[in-house]
Structure 1
Amino acid sequence: MTDIDRIGLSRRTLFGVSAGVAAGAALAVGAAPAAATPGRRTTDPKATPLTADQAWRKLAAGNARFVAGQQQHPHESLAWRQSLVEGQHPFAVILGCADSRVSPELVFDEGLGDLFVIRAAGEVLDTAVIGSIEYAVEHLSVPLVVVLGHESCGAVGATIDVVQNGTAVAGDVSTLVRSIEPAVRATPANPDPKAFLAACVAEQARRAAKYLQERSNIISDAVAHDGVKVISATYELRTGKVTRL
């Protein structure tokens, strides 16, 4: 059992005990325990009522506005900001690259409190990234996780250079390269460098989405039992369009 498995099991045990205590206390005073929305972990009435598919449609609609230059810039007002002081209820997790050209709130035309965003070059997973996503799924009942790769990703491009040319990388950038390397090696060769890079970007996003579920008991259990979905997508710099893989 890995460290991440131990974390997942210990958290699930803790939340199971807490839920049981809360339900027992409600019954003890003659009150019925609050009913959760089917397929969801929370009884918080403020939590997003969206399903994973509805969350994706909402993201797609926002991206369509962004592509067309018809953004609504929702949830940026002072009143809305004040409403978030007591808590957050995002409807989707976006694991995206750290690239400055791919800001999820802008790409999907969403505002404060709407998206739970984690960014790491090349969408590389480590325990901090996985734990952050677990928090959103377990504590905030977010129904959808999107791993978002993007056109001309520098981290993926650097990894291709290492694999194909043996180029040396310094510092902790080598950690990123080692994490992305399996995706590059699994991608069929293509004489067109741009096409090959695009294929590697897509492969990395798919692998991160798959590996996330393999590494985390919390996320895999939520997918199996609570209607949570983990999907991958890519972003085109030129058009601004997000395409689900």
Structure 2
Amino acid sequence: MPRTSPAVALDALVAGNTRFVSGAPQHPNQDAARRTELAPGQDPFAVILGCSDSRLAAEIIFDQGLGDLFVVRTAGHVLGTEVLGSVEYATSVLGARLVVVLGHDSCGAVAAARAAVEDGFAAGGFVRDIVERVTPSILAARTAGLTTDTDIIDEHIRHTVDLMLERSRLLSDQVASGDVAIVGLGYALTEGNARVVTTHGDVHAETADAGAGLSAS
């Protein structure tokens, strides 16, 4: 796939999600020839930080194949140094032009953080660390008067994108120079479509409306 800009990468995700939503996926780059082609190395066109939820498989919902996407997944797409390092590796070493933070409705991590804030429910073990990392998004949503699941999920997606830019000088510099763009997407489990929640960098916003699957909020 030709990749001349972050917008081209987003266009590929737009097209793939449209195929997935319509029930006509092409399952590209999933054959033996592609496997052999990739053996010497990889050059994914996008890196996706998504939630670990089993219903949120990026290669499926964007109808991509082997070597197309560099995927990092954590519960609630929470950020740690290992996540930031993985994303930076994808953009600076592998040449990915687009970074996507992929959230979704009915997110268990967000629900747990809401329960902790609203009901005082304390998660155990290392789950508590995930809840604590999501909690700032819940508090910000409350301060803004946001109450619906969609609005709170969107706030958490925006918070993750902002935190990524705040913590990674490399990524912020890449976005400022136009080499990379970061997009926050919210995925609807039932409908299968992903919608744009926030963008940083030049992704030609009008293309985000081009597909029936991926749409601007």
The answer, yes or no, to whether TM exceeds 0.5 is yes
The match for 1:182 is: 136
Residues of 2 paired with 1:235 and 1:87: CA distance? 30
Aligned residues: 195
**Would you say 1:201 and 2:157 are equivalent positions?**
no
Higher gyration radius (CA):
1
The CA distance in 1 between the partners of 2:44 and 2:190, in whole Å, is: 28
1:127 aligned to 81, 96, 101, which one? 81
Q: How does 1:132-171 map to 2 (within 5 A)?
A: 132-171=86-125
Tell me if the contact between 1:48 and 1:90 (Cα under 8 Å) persists in the aligned partners. no
- The reply on whether 1:244 has 2:193 as its aligned counterpart is no
**Deviation per residue, 1:22-74 (Å, 9 max, x gap):** xxxxxxxxxxxxxxxxxxxxxxxxx9633111111110110000001000000
> Aligned partners of 1:218 and 1:141: how far apart in 2?
13
> Partners in 2 of 1:140 and 1:60 — Cα distance?
22
Instruction: Letter of the 1:231 partner, please give it.
Output: V
Q: TM-score if structure 1 supplies the norm length?
A: 0.77
- Relative to structure 1, the CA distance from residue 190 to residue 125 in structure 2 (aligned partners, 3 Å threshold; closer, same or farther) is closer
TM-score normalised according to structure 2 size: 0.87
Does 2:80 correspond to 1:80? Answer: no
- Two-structure CA RMSD over aligned residues (Å): 1.3
TM-superposed CA distance for 1:189, in Å, is 4.0
Per-residue CA shift, 1:182-238, capped at 9, x if unaligned? 1111114456xxxx2221111111111111111011111111124210110100000
Q: Distance in 1 between matches of 2:74 and 2:146?
A: 27
The 3 A distance-change label for structure 1 pair 226 and 141 is farther
Runs of 4+ displaced beyond 4 Å? none
**Greater fraction strand:** 2
Q: Deviations over 1:95-132 (max 9, x none)?
A: 00000000000010000000000000111000000000
Structure 2 unaligned regions, length at least 5: 198-217
